[in-house]
């Protein structure tokens, strides 16, 4: 087992990414892990600024996450939502009473002029999280899903319309004038950086918005560390969410190899599940190394084991001659 040394930067969206981020957090010293999180899912709702992927990462690393839904807090009560419904308020986006406190406090701090990075650092510290959870940008970036009937705001597509519309493309509105948040560039420029890990999140709606922030992809490419992506597709299926439905609608084969192709040119290594071992050579032919292991994370042990495998893979790649 070649021991990993140095720091790790992980790129993550919601549920799938958060599972691996948790595994990494149990494997690395907290000061050696920085999780860069997609903010394209963020939106203003009921007068609140809601940041779903930041909150999924925060709740997951704080051990507060609701494992059934994959979002929000465990053991929630719904007094606010029940009262809102009774008043005829917008009830399609479920806000638990505890979760509501996060949105209210974040909105208050943002309105007072704090950056999203500063607010996130304050909220995660209050929840006892030592790992850095960093928004990809402090500037507003909003994912819109292009459909045959026009562009849909992400949460309208994902929650209100339950991912039903046929997807033709994506827009990350505001990304062209966004800049990476300060901690992102610092983490990627750290000479001790030993690995950049693209977590098994949806490549189109969770990872692409991060890579679209001007300067961020270049900072990853300039980093001396190997870049490793973990496939979110196992046996042609997504573990959770609309990834494979999107692939069908975009005319992309539903396979781990398609995801490897999507990241081609950026990544040095790709991690696939044992179920997809037979596709390893096809993926290597794309010009990247392949690690085959168990990528389906059901238990905490699975999360830690995959994290250890990914970091060992990075160590192996770092020791390879250029
Ligand atoms: N997803 C749903 O499918 N239904 C919901 O009612 C819902 C509420 C919600 C509240 C707070 C939050 O942080 C996330 C929430 N999500 C909900 C998930 C959200 O749509 C995220 O964008 C997904 O996790 C995709 O990343």
Mutate to test the pocket of ligand 1, among 68, 93, 155 (most ligand atoms within 8 A of CB): 93
Q: 2 in a domain, yes or no?
A: no
Spans of the chain, pLDDT less than 50: none
- Cα separation of 139 and 198, whole Å? 22
For ligand 1, atom 16, the nearest C-alpha belongs to 71
Mutate to test the pocket of ligand 1, among 52, 160, 206 (most ligand atoms within 8 A of CB): 52
For ligand 1, atom 19, the nearest C-alpha belongs to 52
Q: 127 in a domain, yes or no?
A: yes
Q: 31 in a domain, yes or no?
A: yes
pLDDT at 239: 86
CATH number of the domain enclosing 43: 3.40.50.10680
Q: Report CA(72)–ligand 1 centroid distance (Å).
A: 7
pTM: 0.97
pLDDT at 291: 98
pLDDT at 322: 66
Q: 1 in a domain, yes or no?
A: no
Cα 10–237–62 angle (5° rounding)?
A: 35
pLDDT at 321: 79
Task: Identify the domain containing residue 212 by its residue range.
Answer: 7-319
In sequence order, the β-bridge partners of residue 171 are 144
Residues 263 and 271: beta-carbon distance below 8 Å = no
DSSP 216-283: HHHHHHHSSS-EEEE-SEETTEESSSSHHHHHHHHT--SSHHHHHHHTTTT-SEEEEEGGGGGGHHHH
pLDDT at 247: 96
**Nearest C-alpha neighbor of 164 from the set 238, 246, 237, 93:** 246
Ligand 1: atom nearest CA of 53 is 26
Q: 59 in a domain, yes or no?
A: yes
Q: 300 in a domain, yes or no?
A: yes
In sequence order, the β-bridge partners of residue 198 are 11, 229
14 lines ligand 1 (CB under 6 A): yes
41 lines ligand 1 (CB under 6 A): yes
253 lines ligand 1 (CB under 6 A): no
Count of domains observed in the chain: 1
């Amino acid at each position: 087992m070649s021991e990993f040394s140095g720091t790790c930067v992980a790129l993550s969206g919601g549920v799938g990414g958060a599972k691996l981020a948790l595994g990494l957090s149990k494997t690395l010293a907290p000061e050696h892990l920085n999780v860069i999180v997609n903010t394209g899912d963020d939106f203003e709702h009921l007068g609140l600024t809601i940041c779903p992927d930041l909150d999924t990462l925060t709740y997951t690393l704080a051990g507060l996450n609701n494992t059934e839904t994959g979002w929000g807090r465990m053991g929630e009560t719904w007094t606010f939502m029940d009262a809102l419904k009774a008043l005829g308020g917008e009830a399609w986006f479920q806000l638990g009473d505890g979760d509501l406190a996060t949105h209210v406090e974040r909105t208050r701090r943002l309105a007072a002029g704090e950056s999203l990075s500063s607010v996130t650092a304050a909220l995660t510290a209050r929840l006892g999280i030592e790992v850095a959870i960093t928004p990809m940008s402090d500037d507003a970036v909003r994912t819109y899903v292009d459909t045959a009937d026009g562009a849909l705001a992400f949460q309208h597509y994902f929650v209100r319309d339950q991912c039903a519309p046929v997807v033709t493309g994506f827009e990350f509105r505001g990304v062209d004038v966004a800049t990476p948040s300060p901690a992102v560039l610092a983490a990627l420029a750290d000479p001790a950086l030993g690995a950049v890990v693209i977590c098994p999140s949806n490549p189109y709606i969770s990872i692409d918005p991060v890579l679209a922030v001007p300067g961020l992809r270049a900072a990853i490419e300039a980093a001396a560390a190997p870049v490793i992506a973990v496939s979110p597709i196992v046996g042609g299926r997504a573990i959770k969410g609309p990834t494979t439905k999107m692939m069908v609608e975009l005319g992309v084969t539903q396979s781990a190899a398609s995801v490897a192709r999507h990241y081609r040119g950026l990544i040095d290594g790709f991690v696939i599940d044992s179920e997809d071992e037979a596709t390893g050579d096809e993926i290597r032919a794309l010009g990247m190394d392949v690690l085959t292991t168990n990528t389906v994370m059901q238990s905490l042990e699975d999360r830690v084991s995959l994290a250890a495998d990914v970091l060992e893979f990075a160590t192996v790649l770092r020791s390879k001659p250029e």
